[in-house]
Amino acid sequence: MSAGGEARLEGLRAGIARLDESLIALLAERVSLAREVGAEKRAAGLPRLDPAREAAVVRHGTSLARGVGLDEEEVREILWRVVGLCRRAQEEA
């Protein structure tokens, strides 16, 4: 690979690393909000899992993904993971 090519690759990788940092920061923020939701639900005597809400979150995210040209199935899988992560965080709240 040429020196110019290597520099471009490095630059792109640095961009990906910055985005990963943002993604993790956003996930942490989402988990923290989910913990607050968990505390509110407990105070109200509601169950931790709200199936309709989870399904709606996944559906909404999937339609956003479609709008920006991402593979819907892949995004759906990621969203289910995120939803599961946040539900488990509610248990700890």
Q: What is the number of other CB atoms lying within 10 angstroms of the CB of residue 36?
A: 11
- Taking residue 15's Cβ as centre, other Cβ atoms within 10 Å add up to 10
| Binding to other proteins, residues 7-46 (CB under 8 A) | none
Residue in 10, 36, 40, 77 binding other proteins, rule: CB under 8 A: 77
**Residue choice 52, 67, 68, 92 for contact with other proteins (CB under 8 A):** 52
56 touching other proteins, by CB under 8 A: yes
Q: How far is the CB of 45 from other proteins (least distance, A)?
A: 8
Please tell me the distance from the alpha carbon of residue 50 to that of residue 64, in angstroms, as a whole number: 21
Give the count of residues interacting with other proteins (CB under 8 A).
Answer: 19
Q: CA-based angle 37:93:33, to the nearest 5?
A: 35
Q: What is the DSSP string of 50-67?
A: -HHHHHHHHHHHHHHHHH
Task: Select the residue interacting with other proteins from 18, 59, 60, 66 (CB under 8 A).
Answer: 59
What residue ranges bind other proteins (CB under 8 A)?
47-49, 51-52, 54-56, 58-59, 76-77, 80-81, 83-85, 87, 91
